[in-house]
Structure 1
Amino acid sequence: MSLREQKKEQTRQALIAAAERLFDEQGYEGTTVEQIAAAANVSTRTFFTYFRHKADVLYHNSTESVEAALRVIASRAPDESPTQLLARAFDRLLQDNWEMGMYAGLIGHALTLPIASPKASIERSNARLERLAAALVEVCPEEVDRVGSYAMVGAAIGAVSAAVGAALGEERTDEEALEAGRCACRRALAGFDQSWEAGSGDDDGRSPGP
């Protein structure tokens, strides 16, 4: 990374850190772009060089997290089932989001802060679901079809988001909320394994639809 690129990344990280601190102190709605820029010692114009909207700061790490999950899926072990593989990918997503900050949420969903644009949130979520589902079909073509893959990824996203949200709402520790998300993911995906074992899939033996 060149010196210029290093400085740009430092500015981006400063904006993210300032935004997260202000969101925590005064809430998402009560924080303005001007305040974020001032806290990071840059101009408002500079903020818009890095982010199009205030809401984009909430999703600053979601792209990196999804890329990491995609690499996990691509690294499938020979004896690893699709559900085991997807659970491992979600473990990586959870861990990455925790390490980078909960404000970014899971797969584009902010868990602790309101979303300024529901439409934008849905678009981000759909894009990430599409990429994860497509990657799963690519590495497990004989076991999972497109419909089944979407069902699995969607079930995992819903279970993780609900479990982590509930844990945080009960004021559990971050570690407890993280574990709740992991357990919920595996419980949701276990249903697909049971369906396959019961022979309820399609005639070609691939995963059942929703």
Structure 2
Amino acid sequence: MSLREIKRARTRQALVSAAVELFERNGYEQTTIADIAAAAEIGTRTFFGYFASKEDLLFPETDGRLRAAVEAIEHRGPHDTPAQVLLRALSLVGAASDDLTGRLGALRLRFIQEIPAVRGRSLQLQLDMQQELARRLAAAFPGELDVVTAAALVGAFVGAVTSALQALLGDGPAPDPAAVQRAVERATAVALRPWLAHDVRQAGAGNV
């Protein structure tokens, strides 16, 4: 990364950290963009060079998670299956950041339940991600998936992650994000078991 990119990344993280502190202390509705910018020591106009809205502060790693999943698809091994690729992407995301499993993840889940604007933004981002992943998977595995089965697989994957996080973080952040990540990966493997079992059967049939 260039020096300019490093500075931008630091400022972006400062905005997210400031927002989390203010949201937890004062509440979402009571915290303004001006408050967050001031806490991060930047101007309010500069804020919009990093985030389009206050809601987007709660989803800072969404693009990164999509990139990780796309990279897992593009760099799949010759014997990797669609379900295995998705599980690997989840593991890579967890290793790179605790955005899903830590303090911000718990705060985001709470606001999704309580605040319509945050819920709406979450649903839109989730829908966009599911559609893009399904499209990429169907293109990567044309002999195994069509657009419908790819959408079903991705829907099961995203639903498992979301439901597991709600169960684990619904009452607030867990003390160990790494433990939450491991639990989410186990839950997702359970949800994808039919596809994983199908993969095993297909591999066995190919060896007969």
TM-score interval for Structure 1 and Structure 2 normalised by the shorter chain: 0.7 to 0.9
Return the offset for 1:187. 0.8
| Structure 1 residues 63 and 178, CA gap change in structure 2 (3 angstroms) | same
Q: Does 1:144 align with 2:145?
A: yes
Return the offset for 1:144. 1.1
Q: Which moved more, 1:78-87 or 1:111-120?
A: 111-120
Distance (whole Å) between structure 2 residues aligned to residue 85 and residue 3 of structure 1: 34
Return the offset for 1:119. 3.3
| Structure 1 residues 20 and 101, CA gap change in structure 2 (3 angstroms) | farther
Distance (whole Å) between structure 2 residues aligned to residue 28 and residue 118 of structure 1: 13
Distance (whole Å) between structure 2 residues aligned to residue 150 and residue 193 of structure 1: 16
Q: What runs of 5+ residues in structure 1 fail to find an aligned partner?
A: 200-210
Q: Does 1:61 align with 2:61?
A: yes
Deviations 1:120-143 (A, max 9, x none): 332211111111111211221111
Partner of 2:119: 118
Provide the TM-score with structure 1 as the length reference. Answer: 0.79
Q: Is the 8 A contact 1:164 1:181 kept in 2?
A: yes
Please give the root-mean-square deviation of Cα atoms over the aligned residues, in Å: 2.9
Matches within 5 A, 1:89-104: 89-98=89-98, 102=102
Return the offset for 1:118. 3.4
Distance (whole Å) between structure 2 residues aligned to residue 164 and residue 100 of structure 1: 8
Give the total of aligned pairs. Answer: 197
Deviations 1:43-96 (A, max 9, x none): 222212322210011111110121012101111111222211221122223443
Give the structure with the larger helix fraction: 2
Q: Which moved more, 1:143-152 or 1:76-85?
A: 76-85
Q: Give the AA of the match of 1:151.
A: A
| Structure 1 residues 5 and 84, CA gap change in structure 2 (3 angstroms) | closer
Q: Which moved more, 1:36-45 or 1:185-194?
A: 185-194
Q: Give the AA of the match of 1:68.
A: A
Q: Is the 8 A contact 1:22 1:36 kept in 2?
A: yes
Q: Give the AA of the match of 1:111.
A: L
Partner of 1:166: 167
Q: Percent identity, please.
A: 37
Q: What runs of 5+ residues in structure 2 fail to find an aligned partner?
A: 203-208
| Structure 1 residues 61 and 197, CA gap change in structure 2 (3 angstroms) | closer
Q: Is the 8 A contact 2:111 2:118 kept in 1?
A: no
Q: Is the 8 A contact 2:101 2:180 kept in 1?
A: no
Deviations 1:28-51 (A, max 9, x none): 333221210110112222212322
Partner of 2:27: 27
Partner of 1:177: 180
Provide the TM-score with structure 2 as the length reference. Answer: 0.80
Of residues 188, 191, 198, the one that matches 1:188 is 191
Partner of 1:155: 156
Q: Give the AA of the match of 2:178.
A: E
SS at match of 1:152: helix
Q: Is the 8 A contact 1:129 1:150 kept in 2?
A: yes
Q: Does 1:131 align with 2:132?
A: yes
SS at match of 2:143: coil
Q: Is the 8 A contact 1:16 1:60 kept in 2?
A: yes
SS at match of 1:164: helix
SS at match of 2:73: helix
| Structure 1 residues 39 and 17, CA gap change in structure 2 (3 angstroms) | same
